[in-house]
């Protein structure tokens, strides 16, 4: 071995890649019914996009980004999340000039330099949706109902919706002043990072994971008590819509999300143990931050694929298994290879899962291999079978053998 995979990454193969394919397939199907179109953006972007969009005071920008200079001396960053890149593509390709709203979904790799732990990797994968162009709480309802349907379809149970409002720039100013006054009273007891955040972005202190800071923050002022009339009306309408649609929710004033671009509604889905499965919210100021000529509201979410798989395992949810190999077609002798493989090819063209011999094994070894890979049926084709136009198909579960002519073998599995 020359090397091992980098810390915080993983190889996808076997059962995991099968499960991931199912999850992505369900997500695609649901997005299709919601008329949400797929977008693929580059795995790296110019660093300034994340500095301006995600926020220079966030942990993502300050501590977690994979940033480097390319050969043209440009600062490039592997994307730490999906929203900023999708918004950049929306603006650069003038998607806002089309009939609005624009609804986009993606599966993307994301990179964050952090300590790997359960459900968190330095290279991870996100399923995300961005709903651009609507200021209505109906956009949040669309995103939330999609997530509920998605979790239902993949088999996750017990997830609860938690919502909060962190207001807009107008009411945030008043709130930040109140929060700063509170934090100053406890400044000496805050961690060094939070003491720095106090002056740059007080709201980020509420997202601190240090136990001593979390204890202090319990008594901090809450954004929901400082909303201006517009933000208050927006939040009340959202709650009314959720209630009318019989979507249960918990008002959780501790949710602020970790990125600077969020405004008004923020939400998370938590499992019964209180672990965050996914989160999102409204980001009405992000598009203007990236392109000052535009002022377009938007809302979205990100759901980590690794986190989904971990939760499915925790809940004991079994996804649909891989379809079995319908037929193992064994080959006896060199003269039978081309004729046998023509049948393999014909069956595969008809959509039948078929496997055959590539290792020049003995018949006994081929049958042992067919059993090991779980083939439902087996057949051996050699010189005698070709000469007599007759083969025996064996059901590997019952042991029953069925005679058929070679030219009818394909029809037997159609």
Percent of the chain with pLDDT over 70: 96
Q: Does residue 412 surpass a pLDDT of 70?
A: yes
Kindly write down the DSSP assignment for every residue of 218-278, as one continuous string. TTS--GGGG--HHHHHHHHHHHHHHHHTT---EE-TT---SSTT-EEEEEEEE-TTS-EEE
3-state SS class at 330: strand
- 333 and 278 share a domain? no
pLDDT in tens, 380-409: 999 999 999 999 999 999 999 999 998 888
Of the pLDDT bands very low, low, confident and very high (cuts 50, 70, 90), residue 211 is confident
Of the pLDDT bands very low, low, confident and very high (cuts 50, 70, 90), residue 366 is very high
pLDDT in tens, 52-74: 766 655 666 667 889 999 999 99
- 242 and 331 share a domain? no
Look at residue 55 in the predicted model and tell me its pLDDT. 64
Last residue of a domain, one of 285, 314, 343: 314
- 30 and 80 share a domain? yes
Q: How far is CA 294 from the centre of its chain?
A: 28
Summarize the confidence of residues 211-238 as an average pLDDT: 91
- 341 and 408 share a domain? yes
- 308 and 336 share a domain? no
> Which of 59-73, 81-95, 165-179, 284-298 comes out lowest in average pLDDT?
59-73
Kindly write down the DSSP assignment for every residue of 183-203, as one continuous string. HHHTGGGS-HHHHHHHHH-GG
Give the range of the structural domain holding residue 336, as residue numbers without chain letter. 327-412
Of the pLDDT bands very low, low, confident and very high (cuts 50, 70, 90), residue 330 is very high
Within a 13 Å sphere around the CA of 297, how many CA atoms are in the beta-carbon half?
Answer: 14
In angstroms, the CA 128 to CA 40 distance is: 11
- 245 and 365 share a domain? no
CATH of the domain at 247: 3.30.930.10
Domain contains 32 = yes
Look at residue 203 in the predicted model and tell me its pLDDT. 78
Look at residue 54 in the predicted model and tell me its pLDDT. 67
> Which of 14-18, 162-166, 404-408 comes out lowest in average pLDDT?
404-408
Last residue of a domain, one of 251, 283, 314: 314
- 66 and 153 share a domain? yes
Domain contains 179 = no
Domain contains 266 = yes
* Most confident of the ranges 53-62, 155-164, 206-215: 155-164
Would strands 276-282 and 160-165 be described as parallel, antiparallel, or unpaired? Answer: unpaired
Domain contains 3 = no
Number of Cβ within 10 Å of residue 313's Cβ equals: 11
Comparison of pLDDT for 146 and 208, the residue scoring more: 146
Task: Please give the backbone phi and psi of residue 176, each rounded to the nearest 5 degrees, phi first.
Answer: -60, -40
Check the CA dihedral 19-22-28-31 and report its sign. negative
Number of Cβ within 10 Å of residue 405's Cβ equals: 13
Of the pLDDT bands very low, low, confident and very high (cuts 50, 70, 90), residue 210 is confident
CATH of the domain at 360: 3.40.50.800
Last residue of a domain, one of 314, 338, 357: 314
Domain contains 43 = yes
Write 220-225 long-range contacts (CB < 8 A, 24+). 220/179, 220/182, 220/183, 221/175, 221/178, 221/179, 221/182, 222/253, 223/164, 223/165, 223/166, 223/167, 223/171, 223/172, 223/175, 223/253, 223/256, 224/164, 224/165, 224/251, 224/253
Domain contains 8 = no
Domain contains 374 = yes
Look at residue 53 in the predicted model and tell me its pLDDT. 63
Number of domains in the chain: 2
Look at residue 62 in the predicted model and tell me its pLDDT. 67
- 392 and 293 share a domain? no
- 363 and 285 share a domain? no
Helix (H) / strand (E) element for 158: namely: none
The rounded mean pLDDT for the chain is: 91
Of the pLDDT bands very low, low, confident and very high (cuts 50, 70, 90), residue 213 is confident
Would strands 250-251 and 160-165 be described as parallel, antiparallel, or unpaired? Answer: parallel
The answer to whether 78 touches 85, Cβ cutoff 8 Å, is no
- 299 and 257 share a domain? yes
- 272 and 345 share a domain? no
Look at residue 226 in the predicted model and tell me its pLDDT. 92
Look at residue 259 in the predicted model and tell me its pLDDT. 64
- 310 and 354 share a domain? no
> Which of 34-48, 142-156, 256-270 comes out lowest in average pLDDT?
256-270
Look at residue 114 in the predicted model and tell me its pLDDT. 78
């Amino acid at each position: 071995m020359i090397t091992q995979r980098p810390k915080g990454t993983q190889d996808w193969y076997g059962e995991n890649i099968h499960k991931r394919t199912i999850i992505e397939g369900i997500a695609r199907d649901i997005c299709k019914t919601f008329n949400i179109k797929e977008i693929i953006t580059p795995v790296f972007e110019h660093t300034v996009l994340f500095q301006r969009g995600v926020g220079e005071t966030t942990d993502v920008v300050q501590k977690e980004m994979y940033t480097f200079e390319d050969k043209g001396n440009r600062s490039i960053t592997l994307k730490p999340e999906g929203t900023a890149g999708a918004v950049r593509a929306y603006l650069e390709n003038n998607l806002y000039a089309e009939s609005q709203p624009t609804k986009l979904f993606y599966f993307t790799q994301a990179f964050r330099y952090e300590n790997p732990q359960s459900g968190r990797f330095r290279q991870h994968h996100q399923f995300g949706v961005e709903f651009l162009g609507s200021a209505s709480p109906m956009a949040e309802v669309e995103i939330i109902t999609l997530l509920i349907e998605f979790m239902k379809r993949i088999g996750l149970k017990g997830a609860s919706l938690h919502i909060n409002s962190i207001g807009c720039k107008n009411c945030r100013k008043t709130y930040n002043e109140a929060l700063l006054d509170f934090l100053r009273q406890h400044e000496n007891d805050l961690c060094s990072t939070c003491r720095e955040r106090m002056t740059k972005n007080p709201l980020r202190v509420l997202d601190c994971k240090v136990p001593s800071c979390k204890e202090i923050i319990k008594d901090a002022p809450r954004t929901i008590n400082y909303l201006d009339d517009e933000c208050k009306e927006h939040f009340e309408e959202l709650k009314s819509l959720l209630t009318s649609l019989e979507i249960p929710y918990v008002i959780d004033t501790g949710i602020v999300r970790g990125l600077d671009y969020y405004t008004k509604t923020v939400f998370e889905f938590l499992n019964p143990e209180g672990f965050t499965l996914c989160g999102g919210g409204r980001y009405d100021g992000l598009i203007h931050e990236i392109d000052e000529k535009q002022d377009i509201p938007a809302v979205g979410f990100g759901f980590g694929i690794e986190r989904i798989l971990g939760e499915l395992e925790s809940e004991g949810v079994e996804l649909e298994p891989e379809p079995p190999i319908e037929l193992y077609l064994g080959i006896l002798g060199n003269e039978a290879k081309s004729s046998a493989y023509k049948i393999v090819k014909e069956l595969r063209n008809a959509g039948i899962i078929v496997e055959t011999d590539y290792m020049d094994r003995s018949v006994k070894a081929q049958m042992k291999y067919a059993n090991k890979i779980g083939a439902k049926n087996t057949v051996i084709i050699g010189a005698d079978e070709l000469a007599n136009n007759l083969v025996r198909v064996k059901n590997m579960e019952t042991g029953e053998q069925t005679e058929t002519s070679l030219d009818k073998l394909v029809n037997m599995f159609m």
